């Protein structure tokens, strides 16, 4: 019962995990294509696939030797592989109960042999397989190396899929950021519209119609969703359209009875009213709503001396067009109209400006926008309270402009000063610059939008708004950094794949080329003795290929956290002598001599002896390769760290060709020998040092190198005598022991 209820859930989760990669039905990618090519060559099969098991089909991200891009699940062998915990090998599909009815087995292309390694996420979701398929049965299945290789390549497929996913997540994050920026931009536009309106009202003087026009036009700009705006003023029992904008423009002078209109109700009830669905609102005349094309309305009363003299109405042809913020703005603007009406006969300009300043102040506090006004002639700046707070200053009425300029970041000062002077009297300026806050010294980003205006006395002033955009700038920076990191990871992966492809193909070229030639020569009856040198070349290249695959496997195990460490106690001197005996022949090959310098009392260590040996062998064979007619010295000392812990320092020095500093930096990276031609000249896989580095870290130690061109190289392997248990963190201890080491050396 419980099993039945959990199984479908697991399948749902598995499919969710698969969907999360967003890989299904995407086009072919070289990274995956290369892996199936390598798998095919490794297992000597005509077919290899990266197969992902979807709801009712299996889909192939990469395929070689098989045409269809997907098949139904009834034809899928991989679906059976998903029920396993490891590689599934079916030597003969035509006799296996699970597959003998499969139409790809009973009919063309008559598949016979199958081996599939699981594509499994870290969370354990099995997404599909990397599989190899043959049309001939294979009673012997795969060799151990082939099976290990197939598993390792399957992990490479997963690594490739993870990388794709990270890149997709980054793209999605960038879309989110763009959306957020649009919101900020809209806010900024809104503030700009408010400034425009303020100017309009200011220049309206004592002309009522001009002032009302400025308000309705401004309201259209400030509230993005408005299709039409009207100021309706009361005349007896009617309301008259006195100023109009947008879709309502043709209706200037329209006179409507207060009965049966929402505007009339707004006047009677002396409160703001809204509707998001005019057609179905019982308060609205359906005939009128249709005639004026109204779906949404927001209406605010205009009050003067305690009585309602009219309304400001915004409308839209879309339902639910207005937000609460829009409604608030309409009420504030209605206040501006009222202020304008009340003082038209007197100092209309001053009063309406004051009212609109109040409106702006309220809007600004919500939006963190500060307004300012610089008197260019006197070099004095006035600002809103919020404006001073942006700079970390106490609110004040005015300050010398030079004080503000001093707070501008040195590198951006040219934007705020010379730009100002150069463009004085010209168009609007919009700049982004950094300041140091006066209170905290913190660097913040501001955006400033401003216009130059000249008043009736010829005084030039710069009027505008400033907004703190530090968070947006930080987000931009973070997105940029994340993008760079993802691209760097992608580049490293591509480079690795390109290198691996190159490294595998070169020996394969030689193996295939020589074997084909041998076949031709044998057919012609060339004596066997003459064929031997070429056969040796085939064997050498095959061994090189095997070494490569083993190293790649080891590295892949290290990277996927599957490399296991076995601690055992062994005698250090004995182990070193044993390694030295193994490499003696190799070192003598180029006329080199091997010198051992073993400190007395090296004692024993508890670590993974196989890995210590492999590291020493790597370092010694490197030294042998790059030295000719010289000396290779292997020295070992036991030192005591800051605590009671003991360390073994194993040092391999040679008198060979050495390396430049540029080479040293890249030395422990995969496939990066000193330069590209090194492999050909000296052999080796280019993976040995990367492995040595990885192993030393696993054993709680580290490896370092010193070298100069022409003066030989020295590799120092530093390992704790007692290997730490896994999951115990070490970097700090190592650092402190390094320091201690330096003082001991004196």
Partner 1 sequence: MKILLVEDHEEIWDFLSRRLRRRGFEVAVAVDGREGLDAALAGPHDIILLDMNLPSLDGWTVASMLRAEARTASVPIIALTAHAMSGDKEKALEAGCTDYHSKPVGFTRLLAQIDALTAASPP
CA distance 611 to 696: 8
Residue whose CB is less far from partner 1, 376 or 504: 504
Q: Does 501 bind partner 1 (CB under 8 A)?
A: yes
Residue 30: helix, strand or coil by DSSP?
helix
Q: Does 706 bind partner 1 (CB under 8 A)?
A: no
Tell me the number of residues near partner 1 by CB under 8 A.
26
- Residue 533: CB minimum distance to partner 1, A: 10
Q: Does 541 bind partner 1 (CB under 8 A)?
A: yes
- Residue 505: CB minimum distance to partner 1, A: 4
Residue whose CB is less far from partner 1, 208 or 489: 489
- Residue 667: CB minimum distance to partner 1, A: 20
CA distance 137 to 114: 9
CA distances from 613 to 377, 566, 650 (A): 82, 13, 11
* 47, 333, 510, 623: residue in contact with partner 1 (rule CB under 8 A): 510
A 10 A CB-CB count for 256 gives 18
CA distance 231 to 313: 6
Contacting partner 1 within 647-676 (CB under 8 A): 676
CA distance 85 to 267: 76
Q: Does 26 bind partner 1 (CB under 8 A)?
A: no
A 10 A CB-CB count for 598 gives 17
Cβ proximity of 127 and 450 under 8 Å: no
Q: Does 508 bind partner 1 (CB under 8 A)?
A: yes
* 237, 677, 725, 728: residue in contact with partner 1 (rule CB under 8 A): 677
Of the ranges 158-166, 263-271, 446-454, 513-521, which one interacts with partner 1 (CB under 8 A)? 513-521
- Classify 683 in phi/psi space as left (phi over 0), alpha (psi -120 to 50) or beta: left
CA distances from 692 to 537, 588, 688 (A): 28, 23, 6
Residue whose CB is less far from partner 1, 55 or 681: 681
Q: Does 725 bind partner 1 (CB under 8 A)?
A: no
Of the ranges 444-452, 505-513, 561-569, 732-740, which one interacts with partner 1 (CB under 8 A)? 505-513
Q: Does 680 bind partner 1 (CB under 8 A)?
A: yes
The one-character DSSP state at 252 is: T
Q: Does 526 bind partner 1 (CB under 8 A)?
A: no
Cβ proximity of 604 and 705 under 8 Å: no
In angstroms, how far is the first alpha carbon of the chain from the final one?
73
Residue whose CB is less far from partner 1, 445 or 514: 514
- Residue 517: CB minimum distance to partner 1, A: 5
- Residue 510: CB minimum distance to partner 1, A: 4
* 67, 394, 520, 661: residue in contact with partner 1 (rule CB under 8 A): 520
Residue 288: helix, strand or coil by DSSP?
helix
Q: Does 123 bind partner 1 (CB under 8 A)?
A: no
Reduced to 3 DSSP states, what percent helix, strand and coil does the chain have, rounded to the nearest 5? 50, 25, 30
Of the ranges 29-37, 613-621, 631-639, 642-650, which one interacts with partner 1 (CB under 8 A)? 29-37
Work out the burial of residue 499: count CB atoms within 10 Å of its CB; fewer than 13 is exposed, 13-18 middle, 19 or more buried.
middle
* 180, 347, 517, 588: residue in contact with partner 1 (rule CB under 8 A): 517
- Residue 467: CB minimum distance to partner 1, A: 45
* 209, 259, 279, 516: residue in contact with partner 1 (rule CB under 8 A): 516
Q: What is the dihedral of CA 385, 391, 392, 396, to 10 degrees?
A: -40
Residue 329: helix, strand or coil by DSSP?
helix
Residues near partner 1 (CB under 8 A) are: 30, 34, 37, 494, 497-498, 501-502, 505-506, 508-514, 516-517, 520, 534, 537, 541, 676-677, 680
């Amino acid at each position: 019962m419980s099993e039945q209820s959990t199984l479908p859930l697991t399948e749902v989760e598995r499919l969710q995990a698969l969907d999360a990669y967003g890989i299904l039905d995407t086009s072919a990618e070289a990274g995956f294509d290369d892996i199936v090519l390598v798998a095919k060559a490794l297992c000597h099969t005509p077919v290899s696939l990266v197969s992902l098991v979807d709801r009712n089909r299996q889909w192939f991200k990469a395929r070689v030797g098989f045409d269809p891009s997907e098949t139904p699940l009834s034809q899928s062998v991989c679906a059976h592989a998903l029920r396993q915990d490891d590689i599934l090998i079916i030597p003969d599909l035509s006799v296996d109960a699970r597959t003998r009815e499969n139409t790809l087995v009973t009919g063309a292309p008559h598949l016979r042999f199958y081996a599939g390694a699981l594509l499994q996420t870290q969370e354990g979701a099995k997404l599909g397989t990397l599989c190899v398929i043959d049309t001939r049965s294979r009673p012997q299945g795969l060799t151990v190396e082939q099976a290990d290789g197939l598993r390792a390549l399957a992990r490479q497929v997963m690594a490739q899929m993870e990388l794709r996913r990270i890149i997709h997540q980054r793209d999605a994050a960038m879309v989110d950021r763009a959306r957020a920026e649009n919101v900020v931009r809209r806010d900024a536009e809104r503030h700009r519209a408010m400034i425009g309106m303020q100017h309009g009202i200011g220049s309206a003087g004592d002309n009522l119609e001009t002032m009302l026009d400025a308000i309705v036009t401004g309201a259209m700009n400030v509230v993005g969703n408005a299709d039409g705006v009207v100021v309706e003023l009361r005349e007896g029992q009617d309301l008259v359209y006195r100023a109009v904008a947008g879709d309502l423009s043709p209706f200037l002078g329209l006179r409507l009875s207060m009965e049966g209109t929402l505007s009339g109700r707004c006047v009677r009830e002396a409160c703001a009213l809204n509707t998001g669905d005019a057609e179905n609102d019982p308060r609205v005349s359906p005939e009128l709503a249709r005639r004026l094309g109204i779906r949404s309305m927001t209406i605010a009363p205009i009050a003067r001396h305690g009585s309602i003299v009219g309304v400001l109405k915004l409308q839209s042809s879309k339902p639910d067009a207005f937000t609460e913020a829009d409604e608030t703005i309409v009420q504030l603007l209605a206040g501006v109209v009222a202020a304008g009406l009340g003082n038209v006969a007197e100092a209309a300009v001053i009063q309406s400006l004051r009212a609109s300043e109040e409106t702006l102040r309220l809007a600004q506090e919500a939006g963190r926008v500060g307004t300012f006004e610089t008197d260019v002639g006197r070099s004095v700046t006035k600002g809103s309270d919020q404006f001073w707070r942006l700079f970390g200053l106490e609110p004040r009425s005015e300050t010398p402009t030079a004080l503000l300029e001093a707070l501008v970041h040195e590198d951006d000062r040219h934007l705020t000063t010379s730009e100002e002077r150069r463009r004085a009297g010209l168009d609007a300026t919009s700049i982004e610059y950094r300041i140091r806050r006066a209170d905290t010294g913190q660097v913040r980003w501001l955006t400033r939008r401003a216009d130059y205006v000249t008043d009736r006395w010829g005084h030039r002033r710069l009027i505008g708004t400033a907004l703190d955009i530090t968070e947006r700038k930080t987000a931009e920076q973070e997105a940029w950094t994340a993008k760079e990191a993802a691209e760097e990871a992608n580049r490293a992966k591509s480079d690795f794949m390109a290198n691996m492809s190159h490294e595998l193909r070169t020996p394969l070229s030689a193996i295939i080329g020589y074997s084909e030639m041998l076949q031709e020569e044998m057919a012609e009856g060339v004596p066997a003795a003459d064929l031997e040198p070429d056969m040796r070349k085939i064997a050498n290249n095959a061994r090189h290929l095997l070494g490569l695959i083993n190293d790649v496997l080891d590295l892949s195990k290290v990277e996927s956290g599957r490399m296991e460490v076995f601690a055992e106690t062994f005698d250090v001197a004995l182990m070193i002598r044993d390694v030295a005996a193994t490499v003696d022949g190799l070192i003598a090959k180029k006329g080199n001599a091997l010198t051992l310098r073993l400190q007395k009392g090296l004692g024993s260590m508890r670590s993974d002896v196989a890995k210590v040996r492999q590291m020493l062998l790597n370092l010694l064979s490197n030294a042998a390769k790059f030295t000719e007619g010289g000396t290779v010295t292997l020295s070992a000392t036991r030192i005591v760290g800051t605590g009671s812990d003991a360390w073994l320092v194993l040092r391999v020095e040679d008198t060979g060709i050495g390396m430049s500093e540029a080479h040293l930096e890249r030395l422990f990276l995969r496939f990066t020998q000193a330069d590209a031609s090194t492999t050909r000249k000296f052999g080796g896989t280019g993976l040995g040092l990367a492995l040595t580095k990885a192993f030393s870290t696993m054993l709680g130690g580290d490896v370092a190198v010193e070298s100069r061109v022409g003066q030989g190289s020295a590799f120092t392997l530093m390992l704790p005598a007692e290997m730490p248990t896994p999951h115990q963190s070490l970097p700090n201890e190592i650092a402190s022991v390094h320091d201690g080491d330096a003082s001991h050396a004196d």
